[in-house]
Amino acid sequence: MTTPIPEQSQTEIEAAAFRKLVNHLREHTEVQNIDLMNLAGFCRNCLSKWYRAEASERGFDLSDPEAREIVYGMPYEDWKALYQQGPKKDHGA
């Protein structure tokens, strides 16, 4: 890297990348959590748990359903009813 990125800019870049990842996962509902877990070692539920843990470290209490809604863009039960496919078990449900 030719120019060091200031810490505040790095945080903003990371936040923007996180938002793009979340939006990408919201747009690609055909990709099931179990498939993500098998291929990448994490899923939407993992991401929501990481989000909740980081919020907690900063003094913000989020419930599991609240954190999942941030990642899924809707209540988790609604997402499952609309998009979860077949008899596959959902990781982290």
Can you give the CATH number for the domain in which 54 is found? 1.10.3340.10
| Residue 77 falls inside a structural domain | yes
Residue with tokens 């003094």: 59
Alpha-carbon gap, residue 9 to 89, rounded angstroms: 39
Pick from 1-10, 62-71, 73-82: least confident:
1-10
| Residue 61 falls inside a structural domain | yes
Number of domains in the chain: 1
| Residue 69 falls inside a structural domain | yes
| Residue 55 falls inside a structural domain | yes
How distant is the alpha carbon of residue 87 from its chain centre?
A: 22
Kindly report the pTM of this predicted structure. 0.84
| Residue 10 falls inside a structural domain | no
What number is the average pLDDT over the span 70-91?
Answer: 86
| Residue 79 falls inside a structural domain | yes
For residue 92, name the pLDDT band (cuts at 50, 70, 90).
Answer: low
Alpha-carbon gap, residue 78 to 26, rounded angstroms: 13
Average pLDDT over all residues of the chain:
93
Query: Is the distance from CB of 55 to CB of 2 less than 8 angstroms?
Result: no
Alpha-carbon gap, residue 22 to 50, rounded angstroms: 13
What number is the average pLDDT over the span 53-60?
Answer: 97
